[in-house]
Amino acid sequence: MRRYLFLPLVVAVALAIALITRVAPYGGDSTGYSLAEAKKVLIAIASEPRPVGSVGHAKTRDWLVARLTALGLDVNTQAGVGVRQADFDNRRKGAVSVSPYENIVAVIPGRDRAKKAVLLMAHYDSVPGANGAADNASGVAAVLETARILANGPIPARDVIFLLTDAEEVGLVGAQEFFDRHALAARVGAVVNVDTRGSRGRAIMFQTSPDNGELIQLWAKNAVQPTGNSLANNVYQLLPNDTDLSVPLKKGITGINAAFINRLKDYHMPSDQIDNIDMFAVKHLGNFALTTTGALANAEVLPPQASEAAYFDFFGLFVVRYPMWFGWVLVAIGFGLLFTAKVERLGVRWRQALGGTLGVLALTVTVGLISHLFASYAYGTGIIQLRERINEMGPALWLFVALASSSVLLVRPREAMWTGSVILMLVFAVLTQIWMPGASWLFDWGGIIGALLLNLAARSGWQSTAVISVSAITGGLWGALLLSGVIVTYDTVAPMTPAPVALIIPFAIALIGPVIMGFGNLTHARRFGGVIFSMAWLGAAWLIFDPSFSDQNPKPGDLFHYSDRVNGKNYWATSSTSRELPDGPMTKLTPPGFESYKWTAVPAPPTEVALPVVTIDEQREKIVISIMSKAAPRLMNFLIKPTSILSNVRVNGKAIKMPPGQPARVGWRAETPDAKLSFEFDRKDPGGLTIDYLYAVAKLPPGAPPIGGPDTDWARFNGTRVVRGSINLIYGMSPQPE
């Protein structure tokens, strides 16, 4: 019986370590960060939604100004209507966001005010329909606690600026306006940003500025229970996501970013409330902000650019870090250990090892593909389906883990597959070192451990006590680090892409191959694998047929009225499935020019909507097009397509890039009345503009079918009247005004 329990015991311990070290720690009291004070912040600002322009937003702004002033800081605000243009390589393709904003800025003067300042930043607005206890009242609490502690301590070496940005949720507008226009921006030498994307777990340091070797050194040396790795940094760079830190990084300012991300189903949802948040996650985020900001504030010299670092935390105890180039040394060591292992003593020739490599690769790819196809089939596409996947991502993760694990037991790997898995680890190490070097450490050390085990097994036999023990302990610990990374990656990019979970297969065989092979020799080992495999597919059936929505995690509403003023047709529409619609002949819609929106619709009666007023003013040196809405628009997007090249283009007075032949995408991004956009350019030759627009205002027309659940940021159009139209304007035909 003990032989049957050994492998489950090793796996259970690795799982326990991985899970425990993902939970926000209870310690970290030495910094002085007070959970009681942090909770006061949450109660004060996260008891109602606070989107830009709302009553809750105004109350939050006033409370924060008063609180920072009471701490004895020099406090001011920066307000206006801000403009930010996204990068053209971003998913928003250079779209321009326009929104009111009111940043809150406070300063603790340092001993040497000529030194570059350090800035701690968090956004205080929320999305509509969510109280934002996590996103981002937790970050605001971290800023206020850091301000309280530093204000009551020794005078720092340099100025510390505390920036509570506005309009982050509508396009990083407040951060852009601060770093473009505020007088203090030129004095900033380093930025610490705190944000959240869930309501649980440790705060992961997931992003830094380039050439981060010295910055990583400072963070690691001062952090309390540090959590973060260069894999997360590389993965985040591949995602289309942004935080406020994107703005100073674009300007070449040193920066570092952290967030807690577990329990993604609370993100931008009504469940993002104080009662649902893990206060120890709030504390861990606060300790990151405090220790990192404090270290930067008291550094005689801010971290200079240095060699990019590969780094990972060892279960929150310490951070292993080294220059990225050192990964090549580790790869060489791994291959050296592999080629000196006398694997023929294990009955494996190199030709067989190559076959084992291909076999493990084929198994990994097959399980990854099955996982991806299952996720695609089980949920399909649409906002509500996406929400359901996120609600169920916890149990879904373990379904994919079980599928990968059971496949290993079913194939019962032998020595050739074990050797092949080590080869595969080192091949992956080379590939990641070339294309994604921040991820290479996971494969470097996994390959080295596997190659060391092969050497030991060739000397004493793979069933020896020494090999089994080293495999169980060393391989089990590295496997726990892998599982922790799998959980973080899944929380970040899944459940839409569960295929990376299949990497458990080569890692498991390489690291604990002797333990797995010993288990595979037992009489009922394959049957045990079959049981796990069957349980995985029973879980799959449950995910398909059991709805995940509840009172705590409500199903979003996703029904709206859509009027196409170009073709004169009207619809009830949804960005989810036909289940959200009344009966009628269905059609698929995508508003021309707004291809990111894909809807299912049925015919509806027309309704009246007061559209924005568009005017053109031909001045002596420029053409000014004004767009005004008296209502508080849920959405006001414009695609401006000129017939000729425009020069010196400005939106609300701010210059924007408009490459020749490409339209300008401009949108008002706040639900405030009296929205006003101006689009201006130099007056030259006569020409024309076509303005395609998508405009949405709250409230369905009378007689509308009942809508589903609450408004959320996931279903932006729920309960609205949406209008698509087009306007043609001619300019320059009349004489220039005197």
| pLDDT for res 221 | 96
Please report the DSSP string for 160-225 in residue order. Answer: EEEEEES--TTTSHHHHHHHHH-GGGGGEEEEEEEEESSSBSPPEEEEE-SS-HHHHHHHHHH-SS
Distance CA 146, CA 71 (A): 11
Q: Name the pLDDT band for 495 (thresholds 50, 70, 90).
A: low
DSSP state of 556: P
pTM over 0.75: yes
What one-letter code names the amino acid at 624? V
pLDDT(489) > 80: no
Would the CA dihedral through 202, 207, 213, 218 be positive or negative? negative
Q: What does CATH list as the number for 33-314? A: 3.40.630.10
Q: Name the pLDDT band for 3 (thresholds 50, 70, 90).
A: low
What one-letter code names the amino acid at 577? T
C-alpha of 540 from chain center: 26
| pLDDT for res 238 | 80
Please report the DSSP string for 100-133 in residue order. Answer: EEEEEEEEE--S-TTSPEEEEEEE----TT---I
Q: Establish whether the linkage from the previous residue to 547 is cis, with ω within 30° of 0.
A: no
Query: What stretches of 299-348 show up as alpha helix (H) in DSSP?
Result: 326-340
How would you classify the pairing of strands 74-85 and 117-123? unpaired
pLDDT(494) > 70: no
How would you classify the pairing of strands 687-698 and 654-655? unpaired
Closest of 525, 503, 524, 500 to residue 515, by C-alpha: 525
User: And the tokens for 732?
Assistant: 């320059």
Query: What stretches of 223-278 show up as alpha helix (H) in DSSP?
Result: 230-238, 246-250
What one-letter code names the amino acid at 586? M
Helix/strand/coil for 85: strand
Please report the DSSP string for 133-147 in residue order. Answer: IIIIIIHHHHHHHHH
| pLDDT for res 709 | 81
Please report the DSSP string for 373-403 in residue order. Answer: HHHHHHH-SSHHHHHHHHHTHHHHHHHHHHH
User: Contact, 216 vs 321, CB < 8 A?
Assistant: yes
Mean pLDDT throughout 3-9?
76
Distance CA 209, CA 222 (A): 18
Q: Read off the pLDDT of residues 590-630 as tens digits, 9 standing for 90 and up.
A: 998 898 899 999 999 999 999 999 999 998 889 999 999 98
| pLDDT for res 115 | 96
Closest of 553, 71, 26 to residue 282, by C-alpha: 26
Distance CA 279, CA 281 (A): 5
What residues are paired with 637 via a beta bridge? Answer: 667, 694
Q: Read off the pLDDT of residues 166-175 as tens digits, 9 standing for 90 and up.
A: 999 999 999 9
Write down the mean pLDDT value for the chain.
91
Helix then strand then coil, in percent of the chain rounded to 5, is 45, 20, 35
Name the range with the highest mean pLDDT among 36-50, 238-252, 340-354, 616-630.
36-50
User: And the tokens for 305?
Assistant: 């650019």
Mean pLDDT throughout 178-200?
96
What one-letter code names the amino acid at 217? Q
DSSP state of 426: H
Q: From its phi and psi, is residue 98 left (phi > 0), alpha (psi between -120 and 50) or beta?
A: beta
CA distances from 584 to 571, 578, 580, 704 (A): 10, 10, 12, 14
Would the CA dihedral through 208, 209, 210, 216 be positive or negative? negative
Cβ neighbours, 10 Å, residue 370: 18
Q: Read off the pLDDT of residues 263-286 as tens digits, 9 standing for 90 and up.
A: 888 999 889 999 999 999 999 999
Helix/strand/coil for 81: strand
Q: Which backbone phi and psi does 161 adopt, to 5 degrees?
A: -105, 130
Long-range Cβ contacts of 322-325 (<8 Å, 24+ apart): 323/213, 324/230, 324/437, 324/438
Terminal CA-to-CA distance of the chain, rounded, Å? 98
Closest of 722, 699, 499, 482 to residue 597, by C-alpha: 722
C-alpha of 380 from chain center: 22
pLDDT(114) > 60: yes
pLDDT(82) > 50: yes
Helix/strand/coil for 500: helix
Cβ neighbours, 10 Å, residue 524: 10
CA distances from 237 to 240, 242, 245, 435 (A): 8, 9, 12, 12
DSSP state of 350: H
User: And the tokens for 427?
Assistant: 């091949």
User: And the tokens for 631?
Assistant: 């209502």
| pLDDT for res 734 | 62
Long-range Cβ contacts of 364-367 (<8 Å, 24+ apart): 364/424, 364/502, 364/503, 364/505, 364/506, 365/502, 366/407, 367/403, 367/404, 367/407, 367/502, 367/505
Q: Read off the pLDDT of residues 290-311 as tens digits, 9 standing for 90 and up.
A: 999 999 999 999 999 889 999 9
What one-letter code names the amino acid at 385? Q
In the chain, what percentage of residues exceed pLDDT 70?
Answer: 98
Q: Read off the pLDDT of residues 708-721 as tens digits, 9 standing for 90 and up.
A: 888 777 788 999 99
CA dihedral 109, 112, 117, 122 (to 10 degrees): -30
Longest dimension (CA), the chain: 98
Q: Name the pLDDT band for 1 (thresholds 50, 70, 90).
A: very low
User: Contact, 122 vs 194, CB < 8 A?
Assistant: yes
Q: Name the pLDDT band for 735 (thresholds 50, 70, 90).
A: low
pLDDT(736) > 70: no
CA distances from 405 to 15, 504, 525, 529 (A): 12, 7, 13, 8
| 660 or 330, greater pLDDT | 330
| pLDDT for res 385 | 83
Q: CA-based Rg of the chain, rounded to a whole angstrom?
A: 28
Q: Establish whether the linkage from the previous residue to 229 is cis, with ω within 30° of 0.
A: no
Lowest mean pLDDT among 26-30, 80-84, 491-495, 671-675: 491-495
Lowest mean pLDDT among 101-110, 363-372, 463-472, 521-530: 521-530
Q: Name the pLDDT band for 564 (thresholds 50, 70, 90).
A: very high
Residues in the chain: 738
Q: At what angle do helices 440-460 and 230-238 cross, to 10 degrees?
A: 130
User: And the tokens for 200?
Assistant: 């649980």
| pLDDT for res 185 | 97
Q: From its phi and psi, is residue 699 left (phi > 0), alpha (psi between -120 and 50) or beta?
A: left
Domain with CATH 2.60.40 in the chain: 556-738
Domain with CATH 3.40.630.10 in the chain: 33-314
- Beta-carbon contacts of 678 under 8 Å, excluding residues fewer than 6 positions away, are 624, 625, 626, 627, 650, 651, 652, 653
Q: Name the pLDDT band for 481 (thresholds 50, 70, 90).
A: confident
- Beta-carbon contacts of 423 under 8 Å, excluding residues fewer than 6 positions away, are 338, 353, 354, 356, 357
Mean pLDDT throughout 151-160?
96
| pLDDT for res 440 | 94
Pick the CATH number of 556-738 from 1.10.8, 2.60.40, 1.10.287, 3.40.50: 2.60.40
User: And the tokens for 399?
Assistant: 């379904």
What residues are paired with 561 via a beta bridge? Answer: 572, 721
Cβ neighbours, 10 Å, residue 178: 26
